[in-house]
Amino acid sequence: MKQISLTSLGQHNSESNGHIAISGHVYDVSDFLDAHPGGKRVLLPLLGKDATAEFNRYHSPTLLTKYKSLVVGTLEGHEVEASSDSTDAFGNLIAFAEPAWYHGQPSPYYNDTHRRLRAWMRGLVEQHIIPHVNDWEAAGEVPSSLYKTFGKEGVLSCMVGVSPWPNWVPHQPPCGIKPEEWTAFHEVVLGDELARIASCGIGAVLSLGPQIALPAVVNYASEGIKERVVGPVLRGEKTICLCITEPSAGSDVANIQTSATISKDGSHYVVNGEKKWITNGAWADFFIVAVRTGKEGMNGISLLLLERGMEGLRTRKIACQGNIGSGTAFVIMDNVKVPASNIIGTVNKGFKCIMANFNHERFGIIIGAIRSARICYEDAVIHAHRRKTFGKPLFDHGVIRNKLANMAHKIEAAQAWMESIVYQQTQMSHEEATLKLGGAIALLKAQATQTVEFCAREASQIMGGISYTKGGVGGRVERIYRDVRGYAIPGGSEEIMLIWEFVSPSRFHKCCME
Ligand code: HEM
């Protein structure tokens, strides 16, 4: 890239030929002055100058990825921000703004394959999602090309929660990782990096299908269904959603009412009922639906595959506080005729199929919640250094530092417990992990979601009005604040996660073995 001296920069100081330097890059802003959302007037005195400090005062550091087309060169003698491939330190170097291993701290869990994966995923997310999050949230949906792009790149295949890398997914592991090297820690890295977009809803568009709906197909469906569903979903050609929750049954899965009555000749089911808060439901092609085929309680539930286009199946978007862009919907089924061969697993044993993936689903939420808490902390620390009150930066006020310290210890505790449980999981079979770790994962989910709630609150208090406003430097915290309930309620509400009788290993044994 062209090197530009300070003297040459200084000569570009007029409205028709105006350059400014930010973090070592030189931007030609001549055609951008009138379009600048913060107004032209603030930019004029900075034309021909290094405006890094002024820029950092008002914008999020990731904003400029959207404005690469304005870059005309780099400022001579200035270091452009370090690229992401150092093995010692990666990402934001503020203490606790990234997991400790990102800062080169020793860890038994991560190696070079994880370092390559995190740089790859960060690059994809920064290129394809972060610059557009505000626009997509405002529009209430993401372009369908997003799912296709991440399917093509092989990201969706990384989310199905199986290790080593399975041979039925349509991709090889990314970053030259060998199939036998792939473990749950790679999925942790991927989920963590995805959560940096700070939008529960847009993240859910990508992850929820492969992470919570597809596992039932992969583990329990007939070969015919697998062939029809798995490849197209993981290549990003078709979308899938899991339909469990109903207007009157959420965390209490065993209580669902949607009925599936078998026809006299046994050729098809007739499905009637309504599912609510179904993520991706507004546009999904495939619906994995929990239905009642037998008696009351957990032993009368089955899973059925429904497909868009079946007569009597309708979806309707639900406007929610958070999770914006995720296509959260009602799924309404009126006398839908479904071939009996669309059953997934054994009739009346669907509860077991649902429970088998609950830990995986909860892990997705846990990882997202911890990274979101970290983002709140990160943005609050940056703001506390920039903003002055009573003649000194906010950071110099003990009350603010105390808030930051309280955020950091909760985040690090949740991260450490999460990694410890993932490690235990890597040492167990899927069945053993389901039985032995369910309780701990439930408690960890509660800890992670309480941590993000605490951090969103504290960051908002530190950042004040700017995190009460959409977009701009406080935009990430504003979005996360709205998404707090989107972490704490689905996948088992915090209250359910903290019922001791439910999380004790014996209870898990009972409901998974039946
Ligand atoms: C290439 C350079 C720049 C680009 C692309 C840019 C872009 C933007 C954008 C997109 C916003 C809307 C808020 C957001 O999304 O963050 C904004 C707001 C703003 N910008 Fe810039 N900006 C640039 C340089 C600067 C500089 C050098 C200053 C110097 C003071 C500045 C001052 C502001 C102010 C005061 C706001 C309003 C902030 C608020 O409403 O809280 N900008 N800018």
**Could you tell me the pTM of the whole model?**
0.83
263: left (phi over 0), alpha (psi -120 to 50) or beta: beta
The DSSP symbol for 194 reads H
Probe ligand 1: pick from 34, 36, 41, max atoms within 8 Å of CB?
36
Q: How many CA atoms lie within 13 A of 134 on its CB side?
A: 15
Confidence at 86, pLDDT banded by 50, 70, 90: very low
What does the alpha-carbon distance between residue 151 and residue 163 come to, in Å, rounded to a whole number?
A: 19
Nearest alpha carbon, ligand 1 atom 36: 38
Q: Is the pLDDT of residue 138 over 80?
A: yes
Predicted local distance difference test score (pLDDT) of residue 88:
67
Predicted local distance difference test score (pLDDT) of residue 85:
40
Q: What percent of the chain has pLDDT over 90?
A: 78
- Tell how far the Cα of 7 is from the centroid of ligand 1, in angstroms: 24
* Structure tokens that stand for 428 in this block: 């167990």
**261 φ/ψ angles, rounded to the nearest 5 degrees:** -105, 125
Confidence at 506, pLDDT banded by 50, 70, 90: low
Q: How many CA atoms lie within 13 A of 429 on its CB side?
A: 2
Q: Is the pLDDT of residue 222 over 80?
A: yes
- Tell how far the Cα of 82 is from the centroid of ligand 1, in angstroms: 23
CB–CB of 199/137 below 8 Å?
A: yes
Q: What percent of the chain has pLDDT over 70?
A: 95
Q: How many CA atoms lie within 13 A of 274 on its CB side?
A: 7
CB–CB of 238/291 below 8 Å?
A: no
Nearest alpha carbon, ligand 1 atom 22: 36
Nearest alpha carbon, ligand 1 atom 23: 55
Q: What is the ipTM of this complex?
A: 0.95
Q: Are strands 13-14 and 286-292 parallel, antiparallel or unpaired?
A: unpaired
- Tell how far the Cα of 230 is from the centroid of ligand 1, in angstroms: 44
> Minimal CA–CA distance to 454: which of 397, 408, 401?
408
Span 270-316, pLDDT tens digits: 999 999 999 999 999 999 999 999 998 889 999 999 999 999 999 99
Centre a 10 Å sphere on the Cβ of residue 237 and count the other Cβ atoms it contains: 13
- Tell how far the Cα of 194 is from the centroid of ligand 1, in angstroms: 25
Nearest alpha carbon, ligand 1 atom 40: 38
Burial of 272 (0-12, 13-18, 19+ CB in 10 A): middle
Atom of ligand 1 at shortest range from CA of 67: 5
**Do you find a cis peptide bond into 164, omega within 30 degrees of 0?**
yes
Q: How many CA atoms lie within 13 A of 408 on its CB side?
A: 17
CB–CB of 369/452 below 8 Å?
A: yes
Crossing angle between the packed helical segments 475-488 and 430-463, to the nearest 10 degrees: 140
- Tell how far the Cα of 487 is from the centroid of ligand 1, in angstroms: 31
Q: Which H or E run includes 40?
A: none
Q: Is the pLDDT of residue 408 over 60?
A: yes
Provide residues with CB under 6 Å of ligand 1.
Answer: 20, 22, 27, 29, 36-38, 42-43, 46, 51, 54-55, 58-60, 63, 67, 70, 471-472
Atom of ligand 1 at shortest range from CA of 70: 1
Nearest alpha carbon, ligand 1 atom 24: 55
Ordered by where they begin, the domains of the chain are 3-75 (3.10.120.10), 112-234 (1.10.540.10), 240-351 (2.40.110.10), 357-513 (1.20.140.10)
The DSSP symbol for 340 reads G
The DSSP symbol for 325 reads B
Q: Which long-range contacts (CB under 8 A, 24 or more apart) does 97-106 make?
A: 97/374, 97/377, 97/378, 97/381, 98/374, 99/192, 99/374, 99/415, 100/412, 100/415
Nearest alpha carbon, ligand 1 atom 27: 55
Nearest alpha carbon, ligand 1 atom 1: 27
Predicted local distance difference test score (pLDDT) of residue 93:
85
Q: Is the pLDDT of residue 251 over 80?
A: no
Which residues make Cβ contacts (< 8 Å) with residue 265, sequence separation at least 6? none
- 193: helix, coil or strand? helix
Atom of ligand 1 at shortest range from CA of 29: 1
* Structure tokens that stand for 250 in this block: 């959420």
Find tokens 């040492």 and name the residue: 427
- Tell how far the Cα of 38 is from the centroid of ligand 1, in angstroms: 5
The arithmetic mean of pLDDT across residues 234-250, rounded, is 91
Nearest alpha carbon, ligand 1 atom 6: 36
Probe ligand 1: pick from 9, 31, 59, 463, max atoms within 8 Å of CB?
59
CB–CB of 437/425 below 8 Å?
A: yes
Residue type for position 345: G
Atom of ligand 1 at shortest range from CA of 469: 41
Q: Are strands 240-243 and 286-292 parallel, antiparallel or unpaired?
A: parallel
What DSSP assignment string belongs to 92-152? --STTSS-GGGGT---SS--HHHHHHHHHHHHHHHHHTGGGHHHHHHHTB--HHHHHHHHH
Confidence at 501, pLDDT banded by 50, 70, 90: low
What does the alpha-carbon distance between residue 61 and residue 59 come to, in Å, rounded to a whole number?
A: 6
Length of the chain in terms of residues written: 514
Nearest alpha carbon, ligand 1 atom 15: 472
- Tell how far the Cα of 136 is from the centroid of ligand 1, in angstroms: 19
Longest dimension (CA), the chain: 86
Predicted local distance difference test score (pLDDT) of residue 264:
96
Q: Is the pLDDT of residue 507 over 60?
A: no
What does the alpha-carbon distance between residue 169 and residue 108 come to, in Å, rounded to a whole number?
A: 28
